[in-house]
């Protein structure tokens, strides 16, 4: 997710250039006066939101919502907002491929398998989330173990993790992480063997990130909603 300051930089000098609203549609043109760089048009038509302009075109749809408003849209999270994208230059969901993310995910899977295969100790391991990547760690020390005993086990665990990391670096499967097509082709051939029969529920999207353009669409909405509220408050 992009930093708010960086997102703001894409809208420096932006104003609501045009605002039209009736019982059917609401349209906002958002950009810089006398400068078309970063120009955007937002069209709300019932449950549909269409975005056009320099930061990409997309169509969003909410099936269970009544007429959309900029105020309501401005309160959405990025994940939820992107999930409502029906069409964009990056397809539905507005996600692009990140080969580094796919490699990190696969590396941790290999490490986890190595630890799970060889770990034999009463102090158990557990998975945890580091961003979008699932990693493995040793569970916290209980009163059953002294600090010295726990640290000795921890050294063994870290050594095993390092073995898994070296194994991951040596595997040729990373060659398939460079693009989405190569990854999905590899999953079709080896997904069941590596991840189990339910790999399609999670592994197909491990290298995908919500594209910056989708973030800009939502950030533009937040700025528009703020400007519309300021205008309404001033008129009131």
Q: Across the 236 residues of the chain, what is the mean pLDDT of every consecutive 10-residue run?
A: 75 95 95 92 96 96 89 95 94 87 74 66 61 62 75 77 70 73 80 70 75 95 95 78
Number of domains in the chain: 2
Could you tell me the residue range of the domain that residue 116 belongs to?
Answer: 98-207
Q: Which of 235, 156, 223, 203 is nearest to 7 (CA)?
A: 223
pLDDT score for 233? 85
Count other C-beta atoms under 10 Å from residue 152's C-beta: 12
86 and 60 inside one domain: yes
What is the b/e burial string over 46-85, where b = at least 16 CB atoms within 10 angstroms of the residue's CB?
eeebbbebebbbbbbbbeeeeebebeebbebebeebbebb
pLDDT at 74: 96
Residue 171 sits in the same domain as residue 188: yes
Max distance between CA atoms of the chain, in angstroms, equals 72
Looking at the structure, tell me whether residues 193 and 112 fall in a common domain.
Answer: yes
pLDDT confidence of residue 130: 61
**Residue 14 shares a structural domain with residue 65:** yes
Strands (E), 82-132: 85-88, 95-97, 125-130
């Amino acid at each position: 997710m992009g930093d708010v300051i960086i997102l703001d930089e894409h809208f420096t000098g932006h104003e609501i250039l045009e605002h039209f609203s009736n019982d059917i549609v609401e349209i906002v043109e958002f950009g810089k006066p006398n400068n078309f760089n970063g120009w955007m048009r937002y069209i709300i038509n019932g449950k549909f939101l269409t975005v056009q302009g320099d930061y990409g075109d997309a169509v969003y749809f909410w099936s269970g919502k009544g007429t959309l408003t900029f105020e309501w849209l401005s309160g959405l999270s990025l994940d939820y907002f992107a999930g409502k994208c029906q069409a964009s230059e990056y397809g539905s969901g507005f996600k692009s491929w990140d080969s580094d993310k796919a490699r990190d995910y696969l590396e941790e899977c290999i490490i986890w398998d190595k630890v799970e295969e060889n770990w034999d100790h009463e102090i158990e391991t557990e998975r945890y989330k580091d961003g979008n990547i699932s990693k493995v760690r040793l569970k916290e020390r209980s009163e059953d173990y002294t600090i010295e005993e726990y640290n000795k086990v921890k050294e063994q665990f870290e050594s095993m993790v390092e073995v898994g990391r070296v194994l991951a670096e040596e595997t040729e499967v990373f060659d398939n992480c460079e693009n989405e097509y190569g990854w999905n082709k590899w999953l079709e051939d080896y997904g069941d063997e590596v991840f189990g029969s339910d790999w399609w529920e999670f592994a197909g999207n491990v290298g995908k990130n919500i594209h910056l353009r989708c973030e800009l669409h939502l950030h533009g909405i937040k700025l528009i909603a703020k400007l519309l509220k300021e205008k309404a408050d001033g008129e009131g």
